[in-house]
Every structure is written in structure tokens, then in C-alpha cells.
Structure 1
Amino acid sequence: MSYTTRSSWLTYLICLLFLSGARPVAAQSIDAKAPLLWYVPQPTGQPPREDGPGLITYTSWADLAQKVAQRPDQPFHLHLTVRQPALTDWQVLRQLPSPTKLVVELIDSTLNERLLPIMAGWASLQSLNVGAEYRPRSYTMVPDGKGGQKTISETTFLPTLPQTGWDRLTSVRELTLSTNLNVRQALSQLSRLPALESLTLYLWDTSAELPTAADWALLPQLRELTVNGFDTRPDWLIGLGRLTNLRKLTFSSGQLADMNALFTSLQRLETLDLDYVGPADRLPRLRLAALPALQSLHLSRYGKEEKAVDLDSTLAGVTTLRHLTLDGIRLAALPRSLLANPQLVTLSLVDCELTALPESLDNLTRLEELHLDRNPLQTLPALVGRLTRLRQLSLDRCELTELPATLGQLGQLTYLTATQNHLTRLPESLGQLRQLRDLNVSMNDLTDLPGSLRQLPALERLAAFTNQLTRFPVELAQVRHLYLSDNQLTNVPDAVGELRRLRSLTLAGNPLTSLPETIGQLDSLEMLTLGDNQLTALPQRIGQLSRLSWLELGNNRLRELPESIGSLTSLTAVVIGNNPLEILPASVGGWQRLRTASLQLPYLRRLPDQIGNWQQLEDLTIESDQLVLLPDALTDCRSLTVLTLSGNKLIGLPERMGKLTRLRQLVVSARSDSTTGSGLGRLTNLPADLVNCPALTDLTVQQQQAFDGGDALRLSAALPRLQTLSFINCGITDLSGIVWSKLSLVNLNLMQNRLSQLPNSLLDMPNLTQINLADNNLPPQLNRFFRPKSELAKALAKAAE
């Protein structure tokens, strides 16, 4: 992918942060109310996870105990992977303080009697999620009766829950089981959980015996139930009628008669989330009037209906709804019967293929949220202005050419989005929306924004990227986040300096040639994107942006950066790609908080030694066809975890690479000859000190002319955590003299080399899962990708015949 393409996508994704983050979602779970710290295990056979906000990884239960002890009295969530731990492991687990939420992943194991007593001692445990991965226990060759051919029949172990101990889990309110359980036996055991209110069951084995009405009757206290995997099985729904205290039910089914019968028993049900899997034309037979307490209905159907359906009879008699979602169901029209729900607060009709809205919609006088995205409405009726309690209105991809002036009557509106339409102007009446905080009109045909927007005292976020705007809206002094990428702005006026509250400004993809010095007055600015413009210089006063943490300058015409840029001491991420820069100023050493740097500069000849000051740098990308050597100071970046280098002239890495003790991923690449396909890189070997990088798990070298792969493989044997090794198109001809049993590799990629033979000792790698030998000079049966390792063993044996 070219830098230009990457830069465009980067800008687009930054702008989409607005789209994805602005629509509020009500908290649904324990951790949604107060996000807590998660402790999760490092995965086996995969690249390691990295710690981040709200996430701490551990390598063993002992390591987990140490990390939890570093944060005493701090509530947390915990993810456990259970295989066959030793007795001492259980002791370590028993001494942990109580998590609030526990996820248990069983790998060829069962939820045994040792774990339950430990959980019983965790007085704060409120939510338990148990999932399992079970592999087939035996295989049987079964004749199919046709020509003597045979097929393999798998016998899978179906675990049962422990018989005792459940009554001691006195604080568990939420339980999720995602495994091939004996469900009937499970319900019997779960009935002993004294505080259980919410149960979620995922059943993957469709041959398992389903619970009966008597089984469900063991859980009369349940208030919330989610069942998944039962959808194609008849006669299981009726039994749910014994759960007379249910307030919320989520399930999939196509059994309309059973559903209608069930609903007569659920007189207290308030929330129904139904994924209908039957024929679309039968959906109108669904009857919901038997649910007198129903307040929230989410009705969906997988796949697109060929014919529109009328749900008027389905909703007939329902008068208590507050929240209704019919997303993705092709409706003939808005059901008239829903208008009999005067308390309706939320109505979501996304992707229902509606072409019009009824005049009677304004009967829903309490409506606060209306989502109409992806309906070919073409015109939004003026009556929407009479829904005066609306707080959120979504109109994305509705083929609209204009918005009605009556929107100005929505005095409570805080969120309005109308992206990907054909709007050429916005009504001046939007200036009357005194409560509006978020306005998104991106991806339209707007040439200007109404001046009345300055009258919106609450407006914090305005997204208008991908339009035809030619004027920068300097009058919006109240805005904190302004997204104007991909427009036709040719200049930024001096008055931009008056936008002192601005925290985010995206101007990428405009024909800007310069910026005013007054941009340095934006002392609240934290994010600035200027990629894909025609800038030849940056203003000296850019260094005054003391709070700037994100700077993107890709795909411009910058030949130098001002010395003042080093004063951006709050920078944590910088992207400078595809500019004719040959050097970076020494002042960049002032970026001491930098965590991510992408320097894709084709003419860059050298890097200043001052990059060694980037002590917090974690991810560094350098691409240049002029760079021959890297400064030794690079190894002073002790926090570096990912290093990506690309360039045809790079001849080596710093000798003291072992100082990068946190380095997890190293990639060194070049381009290949367009005629021969051979690599053009000049790297011949890796520094011996690389063996002192104990965290290295992923090493890639590709497109090199004469790389010593044998030496690099021998060096790799000294890297204890190395799991993925790729030497691609490096001219490697020989794999002899390597003690493969010392390599802990899981994945090995040697494609596009010049190998003509393979040693059988390749199979000695104990952890090898897959190996890629494609595009070498090997016999056809070996010249390919292999997974698992046993496939390679078979191919080697066949090649030796």
C-alpha cells in the first residue's frame, strides 16, 4: 500500500472516530457502569498482547498474583485460561483478592471442584463467564455404503458441571456458559446459585438434549435470559413459560406458534430481543399483545427480505413500549399500531427501506431518539420538527437533498447526523438548536456552512469532512472538535487563532499551501492533521502548541521542519510521510513523550542522535531509500516494542540492539526488482547482540539481495520467546548446520527464496504449527504452505520415496 493510500485512510479513520463515538449507548452490564482493570493471559502460539489502558497481561498465575498485588484494594476483572494446572497453581489462585467479573476459558479441561471453592471465597464476584474449547476425543471410520468410501465420525466430550459447590457462590448475579454442556444437568446445578438473576447459554452441539419445562422451573428467580443455539429446534420454547419472573429475554427462533404461546406466560417481561430466523413472509404472524409489561423490543432478522412485510398486526395491542428497534427489516410502511405507544422514547428504523414517513408520526410526542439511517427517504417531512423532545436524530445515507427548516424547532436536540446524503446547503434554522453538541454533515456536497451555527452555544463537535467547502468557519469559537478534511479549502485565515477552545482540528486532503502564524495561538489543541495538502513550510509558531499530542503531516511538500517543532513537548504520536525531507532537526529530541512515530520519508539521509531522547517511544516506522545507517542512539529508546524499517540502502542495524529489552517485533524490508523479482535490500546479517532482546517474538527480514539466513537462524535459536520468523525473498539457498530443535518457533516463513532441498530436522522444532515454503526451487510437493507440521512430515516422506 502506498503512503498516499495509507495517509488517506488514516485521515478517514480519524474522522470516523467522530462517527463511531458520538451516539450514546446506555450501560448494559456491570463493567459498563464503571470500567475496571482487566487482567488477561498472554496467548499461546500467537503474538503477545500489549498492556494498554484498562488491560494488564500476565504469563502465569504467579505473574498474575504479583501484578494484582501491585494494585491493592483496586477492583478488577479477571480472565483465566484453565488447562491442567499443578496443585501449586491452585494455591496461587486461592490467595488472589476477589475479582468483580471472571471469564474462565477451558482448554481441554472442565470446570472442576478445585476452582469452585476458590470462586466461593471471592465475595465480590458478581459476573461469571465460562467458555470452553473441546477437541474431538476419538475418531471412527464409518462406511457410507457408496462404493466402499469411508468418512470420519467425531466423538466429542460433553462436559458436565461439578455436582457440588454452587450454593457457595453467593454473590454471582450474572452467569454465561459458552460450551457444549449437558444443559439439562447444568440447569439443575445452577438452581443452587442463590443470587443468580441473569443467565446466558450458548449451545454449539445441536444434537444435545434440550431442557424441558421442568428444567426451566428450577430457576424461578431468573430475571434475564439469553439463549443461543436452540433456534432450529422445536418444542423448547414452551418451557420458558415457567420463568414467570423474567424481565428480559434474548433468543433466536423461527417457531412463531410456540413464540405466541410462550408470550402468554411472560406477564412481567419488559425487554424482548428476538432474532427471527424463519421465512420473512411469516413474520407478520408474530403477536406481541400478550406481553402487557413490554417496554423494549428489538426485532431483527438475518438476511434481507425479498418482499416488504407489514408488522401492523404484530404490534397491535402493544401500548407500553418505550424503546423499539426494527433495524434491517424491510417494511412496507411504518406500522400504524406503534403509534399507540405514547410513551415511546427511542425508535430505530435503520435499513428498513422506508421511502416515506407517515404524517401521524408526530403523535409520538415523547420521542427522544429517532434513527432513520439507510432508508431511501429522499425527503424528510417537516413534521419531524413537531417531535420537540428529540435529543438524537440520525439521517445517514437517506438520499436527502435538503433538510427541512422545521428542524430548528427541535430545541432539545443534542445530536444530529446526516452523512452520505446529497445536501448542498444546511438551513439557517439550525442556529436555533441551542442544545446541539454534535453535528455531523460529512460526505455531502456542501459548499459552505450557515453563519447561524455561531449561535449554538453548546456546539462542541462539528464534522464536515468530504464536502466542497471553500471557506474556513472561523466564527465557530465555541467548537472543541472540528473535522474539515477532504474539502476545497485553499487558505486558513488569521482569525483561526481565535478558536482557543479547539482541541481537534483535521485539515487533511485540502489544497492548502500555507498556514498562518496565528495557528500557534490554539493553546488547547491536542490533535492536528495536515496530510495530503500542498504545504511547503510550517509556521515557526507551531511550536507554541504546548498541548499538541497528535501531529500528522504526510504527503505534503515540506523540505524542512522549523526548529521550533521540537517545542511540541506533549507529542505522543507523529506521522511525517512522503515529504521531500532529507534531515530532521536536532530539536526533535524534545519530543520526550513520543510513543508512536511514522517517518516514511523517501529522501531521508540521516536521523539525528537526539532521537535517543524518545525514552517513551514504543512503535517506530522508518522508510527511506537513502538511509544507509541508523544512529546508535536509536538503542537508547528503551521502551521500543515495535521497530519497522524499510529501505534499499540500509546495510545494517545498530550493534547494541540488545539494549532494546522490550522489543517484541522487528521488521526489516526493502523493495524488489520489478523485472526479476529479486530483493534490492543490502542487509547481509543481523547484529549478534540481537540475542539480548528477550522479549522478541516476531522477526521479519524480506527483499534482501544476499542475506545470511543460516547465520540469522542460528542466532534466532538464542531468542527464547521468538514465535514467528519470516525470511522472505532473501536469496537463501541452504538450511544445513542449524539445530532446529533449539528454535521455539510457531510460525516459519521462508517463501520466495532459492531453496532446492530441505533437511528432515525441520520437523524437530517442538512448537512449529505452520511453515511457508512457497516459491522456492523445491519439488512441487514441498514448494507450498504447510499447516499443521504433520503435513510437512508427510510431504518430506513422499519426496524421499
Structure 2
Amino acid sequence: MQLVELDLSRNDIPEIPESISFCKALQVADFSGNPLTRLPESFPELQNLTCLSVNDISLQALPENIGNLYNLASLELRENLLTYLPESLAQLQRLEELDLGNNELYHLPETIGALFNLKDLWLDGNQLAEIPQEVGNLKNLLCLDVSENKLECLPEEINGLTSLTDLLVSQNLLQVLPDGIGKLRKLSILKVDQNKLIQLTDSIGDCESLTELVLTENQLQILPKSIGKLKKLNNLNADRNKLTSLPKEIGGCCSLNVFSVRDNRLSRIPSEISQATELHVLDVAGNRLTYLPLSLTTLKLKALWLSDNQSQPLLTFQTDTDPETGEKILTCVLLPQMPSEPGCQADNLPRCGALESLVNEMSDEAWNERAVNRVSAIRFLEDEKDEEDNEMRTLLRRATPHPGELKNMKKTVENLRNDMNAAKGLDSNKNEVNNAIDRVTTSV
């Protein structure tokens, strides 16, 4: 009866006896990982209980009088089979941590807003289609995780979560974020990846404490200019969207350390990016860039990614001039970025690179044709000679074949040789043909 802490986790206990109610001094109990399906009816009599963990026990329902545990500060119910929450849950006025992740909840009761002292609320991996507006009453909430649900929108009342530092809404069906999100001045981490965002609200620039913003795998075509107001932003990831341009205000993110916009539709990077002087990692692989701004040379980059199969984090660049604008630019062997031919096979991934997703949606036929037929020429400017001599003194560099293509070329040549050797009546030409084939095979 003087027992204060009881840990029976990860056993094969099928049932907790009703007599556990005699453990009046019990403060911490962990029954996680047992083949339990219910808690005893007498359980709420343990009124000194402050921490209860019943994760992964196939729990289908909570006792209706769970609210009698009025001293409870932490309640962990992750990985169960809960489909609803009893109304009495709202009586847990001292509750600071509530973990309901990976259950079967379709509805969150409005009384959730009565848990005024709640600091951490995990609702990830459920079936929630909406969040009640009363959640905005949780003024002390620090972390809200509603990822992996079926949310199509967030309530505007979310602006009431003035203490919130972490908001995780990954893997939902959101098309927009509420404008009220700009009221979350203490928000540090915002993850909205794998949704259906078509635009990012301008009020995002008011989240002055934001250090990490993850927008991966959405439908964004532009980023708002207000993003440049995020002076503390350290990590910005917008991979696999439909971005066609970046705002020049991006340079205002003076603390930006990692910036990734892989697999978008960017044709240029604004020169103002150099104003983000703390930038160390820039990933622009899988876009449509024809060159890079010369201002990048002023940054202390540790990694610049232009291609999926790029083996080194940094490349050797040359200075050039844009023939259209006269602007000084940077270029290298990987620029301009070009998608590979449609229909490339899995074994040709190094050649397909990060542009595979773009190829599937490519409507510009000239873009594809230009990629396939790209040729680089090096000319030697010495004494002027006739046109034939000049042609002889020019080196042409075509796109390097994939190793698989080289093998196919060699195999074709070898098959040709075998067919020629097997042919009858061509003995007089056999040596000459074999010599020619040998020269081709050696070259391959």
C-alpha cells in the first residue's frame, strides 16, 4: 500500500486486478506493451497517480470516470484502438502531457479545450478530419502534433496557441494555412510536408521565432515575399513542389543555414540569395536552371547540389556572361539543367537524375530535345586556315552515355561480329570487317 512506482511494461499480463485500487500511494504506473484490452473499473480510485502509461496494449476504451484522476499530469495512450474519448477527460485540470498518437480517433471532443495546463498534445496517426476550434483555448500548449490524419483545414482559432513552439501537421490534406498562424510569435518548428498546399499565407512572415520550416511535397508555385522577414530561420525545405520562382526577399533570411528546393521548376536563383550570409548548404537539384548567380561566390558554401548523382558536394564553376542580359553568371558542366528522355528505365537512374518527376509532366518538347542533343564545343583559335582545317581543330563533347548504354553498344558490336563470322561466302571481307569492328569495340 506504500508503493509509489509500478512498472510492469513489456510483459504478458492479460489483466490488471481490481485490487490495484488499494495502492493508494501509487504515483507512477506503466502497463505498456501488455496484452490488455481494458483498465479495471476501480482504476480511477488511484487519486495520487500523476503519470500513467498504457501504450500499445490494444485498449479500446477508457473508463468513463477517468476524470477522477485529478492529479494526473501525464497520460500516454499511444498505439491503442481508442475510437473516442470520454467527456470526463476534461476534468484532468492538472494534465500537462496527453499522448493519443496512433489510435482510431475520428472525433476530438470540444472539451479538449478545458485542459488549460496542457503543454504537449500528440494526436498523430489518427483519422481526424477536423480540429475543434476550442483547441485555441490551450494557452500553455508548447507542442501540437496532428500529423498523419485527414485534416483539410486548421481552425482560425489556432491563433490562440500563443505559447506554441512546435506545430506538426505533416501528411494531411491541407490546401492552405489559416492567416492566424502569424499570431504564433513563439513558433519555432513548423512542418507542413506531404499536404496539398497551393499557397503559403503571407502571415507566415510574422512567425518571428521560426527556425525550421518544412514544406516538402506540396503544390506550391511561389513562396510569399514575407518569408524574408524570418530572421531566425535556419532550415527551409521546399523540395518536390511546383515552384517556378523564388522571391528576391529570400535573402532577408539572414540566419538561413540549409536551403533545399530540389525537384521544382526553377529557371533561375535570385542573386539576392547571397544576402543570406550564413547559408552553407544549397540544394537546387532537379530544376531547370540555366546558370547560377555570380553572387554565390561570396557565400561560404559547404555543399551545392545540382544533380542527384553528383558525387562531390562542391563543383568547379566558370564565370560567363548571359547573352540575353549581359549579366555575369556562373556555369559548369551540369548547367543548364536538363531532364532526361521520357521513359528512362530504373537501371538508368544516374542519367535520369532528380528530373524524373519533371519529365513525366514536361510539356515543353523543345526542352526535352535540347537535353538529348546538347553539345559542347571547344575551338582552338590559332592561325586562320581554311574552313576544313578549322573543322578538324574543333573538339565536340556530347552528353556522356550511361554505362548501361555502353554495354549495350559493345554487345551490339559483338553480335555483329558473330553474325559476320558465321556468314558464308564473305571470307574475303572477313578480316577487313573484323578489324573495323575491333576498332569500334576498343573505342567503346
Q: Return the alpha-carbon distance in structure 2 between the equivalents of residues 418 and 584 of structure 1.
A: 43
**Pairwise CA distance, 1:488:** 1.7
Mark the CA change 1:407 to 1:619 in structure 2 (over 3 Å): closer, same or farther.
Answer: farther
Mark the CA change 1:530 to 1:387 in structure 2 (over 3 Å): closer, same or farther.
Answer: same
CA offset digits 1:130-173 (Å, max 9, x no partner): xxxxxxxxxxxxxxxxxxxxxxxxxxxxxxxxxxxxxxxxxxxx
Letter in 1 for 2:35: P
- The 3-state SS of whatever aligns with 2:306 is strand
Mark the CA change 1:618 to 1:385 in structure 2 (over 3 Å): closer, same or farther.
Answer: farther
Aligned counterpart, 1:680: 351
Q: Return the alpha-carbon distance in structure 1 between the equivalents of residues 351 and 212 of structure 2.
A: 34
Aligned counterpart, 2:212: 550
Letter in 2 for 1:550: E
Aligned pair partner of 1:470 in 129, 135, 139? 129
Aligned pair partner of 1:486 in 134, 140, 148? 148
**Residues 635 and 654 in structure 1, CA contact (< 8 A), matched pair in contact too:** no
Q: Return the alpha-carbon distance in structure 2 between the equivalents of residues 508 and 575 of structure 1.
A: 13
Mark the CA change 1:387 to 1:578 in structure 2 (over 3 Å): closer, same or farther.
Answer: same
CA offset digits 1:601-658 (Å, max 9, x no partner): 33222211122122222333332142343333333332x4344332699xx75348xx
- The 3-state SS of whatever aligns with 2:348 is coil
Q: Return the alpha-carbon distance in structure 1 between the equivalents of residues 52 and 352 of structure 2.
A: 55
TM-score, structure 2 as length reference: 0.69
Q: Return the alpha-carbon distance in structure 1 between the equivalents of residues 279 and 42 of structure 2.
A: 55
Q: Return the alpha-carbon distance in structure 1 between the equivalents of residues 229 and 257 of structure 2.
A: 16
Query: 2:184 matched to 1:522?
Result: yes
Aligned counterpart, 2:17: 358
Q: Return the alpha-carbon distance in structure 2 between the equivalents of residues 526 and 679 of structure 1.
A: 37
**Residues 385 and 409 in structure 1, CA contact (< 8 A), matched pair in contact too:** yes
Aligned counterpart, 2:254: 592
Aligned counterpart, 1:654: 317
Q: Return the alpha-carbon distance in structure 1 between the equivalents of residues 144 and 174 of structure 2.
A: 17
Aligned pair partner of 1:570 in 229, 232, 243? 232
Aligned pair partner of 2:64 in 395, 400, 405? 405
Query: 2:316 matched to 1:645?
Result: no
**Pairwise CA distance, 1:405:** 2.1
CA offset digits 1:749-800 (Å, max 9, x no partner): xxx9989xxxxxxxxxxxxxxxxxxxxxxxxxxxxxxxxxxxxxxxxxxxxx
Mark the CA change 1:608 to 1:353 in structure 2 (over 3 Å): closer, same or farther.
Answer: same
CA offset digits 1:510-547 (Å, max 9, x no partner): 21122232222222221211111111111222211111
**Residues 441 and 464 in structure 1, CA contact (< 8 A), matched pair in contact too:** yes
Letter in 1 for 2:271: D
**Pairwise CA distance, 1:467:** 0.9
**Residues 647 and 670 in structure 1, CA contact (< 8 A), matched pair in contact too:** no
**Residues 50 and 72 in structure 2, CA contact (< 8 A), matched pair in contact too:** yes
Letter in 2 for 1:644: W
Mark the CA change 1:625 to 1:389 in structure 2 (over 3 Å): closer, same or farther.
Answer: same
**Pairwise CA distance, 1:344:** 2.3
CA RMSD of aligned residues (A): 3.2
Q: Return the alpha-carbon distance in structure 1 between the equivalents of residues 296 and 405 of structure 2.
A: 30
- The 3-state SS of whatever aligns with 1:574 is strand
**Residues 413 and 435 in structure 1, CA contact (< 8 A), matched pair in contact too:** yes
**Residues 521 and 544 in structure 1, CA contact (< 8 A), matched pair in contact too:** yes
Letter in 1 for 2:305: T
Mark the CA change 1:357 to 1:588 in structure 2 (over 3 Å): closer, same or farther.
Answer: same
**Residues 288 and 338 in structure 2, CA contact (< 8 A), matched pair in contact too:** no
**Pairwise CA distance, 1:353:** 1.7
**Residues 227 and 253 in structure 2, CA contact (< 8 A), matched pair in contact too:** no
**Pairwise CA distance, 1:676:** 6.5
More strand by share: 1
Letter in 2 for 1:554: T
- The 3-state SS of whatever aligns with 2:9 is coil
Letter in 2 for 1:372: F
Alignment of 1:559-638 (within 5 A): 559-638=221-300
Aligned pair partner of 1:500 in 142, 145, 162? 162
Q: Return the alpha-carbon distance in structure 2 between the equivalents of residues 390 and 622 of structure 1.
A: 53
Give the % identical residues: 32
Mark the CA change 1:676 to 1:464 in structure 2 (over 3 Å): closer, same or farther.
Answer: closer
Alignment of 1:87-102 (within 5 A): none
Q: Return the alpha-carbon distance in structure 1 between the equivalents of residues 260 and 223 of structure 2.
A: 15
**Residues 504 and 525 in structure 1, CA contact (< 8 A), matched pair in contact too:** yes
Alignment of 1:223-622 (within 5 A): 342-476=1-135, 477=137, 478=139, 479-622=141-284
**Pairwise CA distance, 1:462:** 0.5
- The 3-state SS of whatever aligns with 1:547 is coil
Q: Return the alpha-carbon distance in structure 2 between the equivalents of residues 678 and 499 of structure 1.
A: 46
**Residues 308 and 350 in structure 2, CA contact (< 8 A), matched pair in contact too:** no
Tell me which of the two structures has the higher relative contact order, counting C-alpha pairs closer than 8 angstroms and 6 or more residues apart: 2
Q: Number of matched residues? A: 340
More helix by share: 2
Letter in 1 for 2:46: L
Aligned counterpart, 2:441: none
Q: Return the alpha-carbon distance in structure 1 between the equivalents of residues 402 and 197 of structure 2.
A: 44
Q: Return the alpha-carbon distance in structure 1 between the equivalents of residues 31 and 292 of structure 2.
A: 54
**Residues 18 and 41 in structure 2, CA contact (< 8 A), matched pair in contact too:** no
Mark the CA change 1:376 to 1:620 in structure 2 (over 3 Å): closer, same or farther.
Answer: farther
CA offset digits 1:403-446 (Å, max 9, x no partner): 11232111221111111111111111111112111101011111
**Residues 384 and 406 in structure 1, CA contact (< 8 A), matched pair in contact too:** no
Q: Return the alpha-carbon distance in structure 1 between the equivalents of residues 303 and 262 of structure 2.
A: 15
Q: Return the alpha-carbon distance in structure 1 between the equivalents of residues 291 and 240 of structure 2.
A: 20
**Residues 648 and 681 in structure 1, CA contact (< 8 A), matched pair in contact too:** no
**Residues 228 and 250 in structure 2, CA contact (< 8 A), matched pair in contact too:** yes
